Structure formats: structure tokens, C-alpha cells
Amino acid sequence: MRGLRLLIVTASLELGRVLKQIVSKDNQLVIAAEANNAYIARDKILECKPDVMLITNDLPRMSGITFLSKLMPQYPVPTVMIASPALESKAYEAGVADFIPFDESRENIKNAAGELSSRSICDRLKKAVYPEWDKLAVNSKGMIKLDSNSKVRSVIAMGASTGGTEALATVLSGLRKDIPGIVIVQHMPEGFTQMYAQRLNNECEITVKEAKTGDTVIKGQALLAPGDKHLRLIKVNGVYQVECSAGPKVSGHCPSVDVLFKSVAKSAGRDAVGILLTGMGRDGAQGLLEMRKAGALTIGQDEKTCIVYGMPKAAYDLGAVTWQAPLENIAQKLYYILDKK
């Protein structure tokens, strides 16, 4: 694979010229297209299928943030935004992978070359697509060698409560053995999780097992939290593993979805997808928000298909949900996200 295909979207000719000068010096990036407004950008995305997008907010007719909020649910392009520091929170809510604070005023643009070069824009663009870019094999001509394990979103974290046993079965039965490793919390009493894992293992193409401390997160396997222990994701020597430990209830539960999701945010960051399914209460909402702030993409089950629209609603109200989807579409949506990354 040659350098990553980049789409630059900015209304400023001066800033666009500076960005092209910076990017053109990196042979691992190729400018596939340019656009000066959201409508042209949309057409260029469909036409050129860029690997990554660099965008400013100051666009005519539709701001960059508004454009991203409309684009990302349908076509999640890894994106780095350059905009006023005051817009950082809104940019991440709209789905950007990285944000570079920069005042887009004319006076600042005159000095943009030096300032933006110092922000490591090229590296940040590459890491928006592959967070562990530095570990990929890249030759002197910018040729990138990707193996089958080089997907960006390599950990999937799922949480559910009331109605979740059937909801999880629906999602997991739609997954193939090529799916990245999965970690799951389903609110369930001690002794029942092992039987439930065995049931899912018999019904699904992927392997499902009750988790134990030291289990490695691997492709084609889902690890289910034991009914009496919190499940946490950790990273040991570059490998994702899980820890299972007894402890007090968190968000009213042990195991707690919040505990799992917060550990995923800390250990995996952008290298994750979070999914919150039907359930009563708020467990998982804050954790999903931390995942999204860390760069993960997130899915919440929609109200119509939830047995109880509690946990996904709480997450949605917090701004933790990138996309809402009906239960029967979540597996398909997950593959769509993974394919785009």
C-alpha cells in the first residue's frame, strides 16, 4: 500500500497552501483531493475514498463540525480538525480522531507554516488511521506493509443489562471469526455467566467463554465477565489481556460496564469500539463517554429495539454515542466501522 490518501478541506487558500506544503514533504501521505466547502468534500469522499481527512471549521454554508456530525454516522472517515481551541469539545463530539487548536484568523495564518509544522500534523494524520503507525513497516518510498492484525479498532467492548442476554446473542451471532477480540459485561448473577457463555459459544461462529485473569484478547473470541467480578482490560507488552477481580459495586453493579469501559478507554483509546445495549439505569454511560473522549467510536442501541432504554439513553444524553442503531443492524454497523478503518 502506498502512502495514505488525504483529503484537505478548508475555505482558506492561504491555509490550504500551507497545509499542502507541510503534507507534501511526507512521502507516507498523498493528497488525493481538496475541497473548500462541505458539499464538495462530500463528493470528493465518495469519489476518492480518502484514508484520512484534514479539515477546518471555517467553511462556507456549513461549518466543518456540522458537516462531520452529518457525515460520520454514515461514512466515518478518520479526521483531524484544525480549529479554534473553544471548539475542541464539539469537534470530538462530532467524531474527529484528533484536534489541533489553531486560531484561523488571517493574522495567524501568515505564521501558520511554522506553528502548524511544529504540531506534527503529518504524524497525527497517520495515527488517526493507525494509532500504532510507528510500529508499521514503511520503506523509504513510503510503501506501507499491513498485516491482518493491523486494524485500528482491535478491541470491541460491549455492555448490557435488562434484555441484554438476547440482545448480545443477536449481535454476536452476526459476527464472523475475523472480528477483533471482544470483552463483555452482562449484568448477571454469579454462576449464570458460565452457562450463558457456553450457550453463546454453541450458537455463534465466534468463540465465547467466561473470562479469567490473564486471558488474552484475540481475534474471533469474546470474553464475558464472571457474574461476581469486575472485568478490566489491560495492556501487557503490547498485548491486550483482561483482569477479573472482586470488588464493591460500581454504578450499582458488579460486574460493572463502567469499570470495563473506563479500563478500555485507558488501555486502548482509539484502538477500540464501544457498544452499549439495552438495560435499566446508567451503568456504562460514563464509561462510554470516556471511551469516546479517548478516541473510540461508539454505538448505542436505539430506543425502539431496547427492552429497557435506560443505559443507552443515559449514554446518548451525555454525548457518548457516535451512532444509534437498531439491534438487528449493530453487527453490520460494526463491520462497516472496522472496514472503514
Whether cis (ω within 30° of 0) applies to the bond prior to 180 is no
* Residue from 253, 303, 241 nearest 278 by CA: 303
Burial 88-102 (b: 16+ CB within 10 A, else e): eebbbbbbbbbbbeb
283 annotated active-site? yes
Catalytic residue among 51, 63, 98, 187: 187
> What is 158-207 written as a DSSP string?
EEE-TTHHHHHHHHHTT--TTSPEEEEEE---TTHHHHHHHHHHHHSSSE
Q: What angle do CA 80, 296, 240 make, to 5 degrees?
A: 125
Catalytic residue among 161, 251, 263, 267: 161
CA 112 from chain centre, in angstroms, equals 30
Helix (H) or strand (E) holding 18: helix 13-24
208 three-state secondary structure: strand
161 annotated active-site? yes
Say if residues 93 and 83 touch (Cβ distance below 8 Å). no
Catalytic residue among 51, 98, 283, 302: 283
Diameter of the chain measured on Cα atoms: 66
Please give the span between the terminal C-alpha atoms of the chain, in angstroms, as a whole number: 14
CA distance 300 to 101: 29
Say if residues 167 and 301 touch (Cβ distance below 8 Å). yes
Three-state SS across 234-277?
A: EEECCEEEEEEECCCCECCECCCHHHHHHHHHHHCCCCEEEEEC
Say if residues 19 and 160 touch (Cβ distance below 8 Å). no
CA distance 275 to 159: 6
Query: What residues are labeled active site?
Result: 161, 187, 283
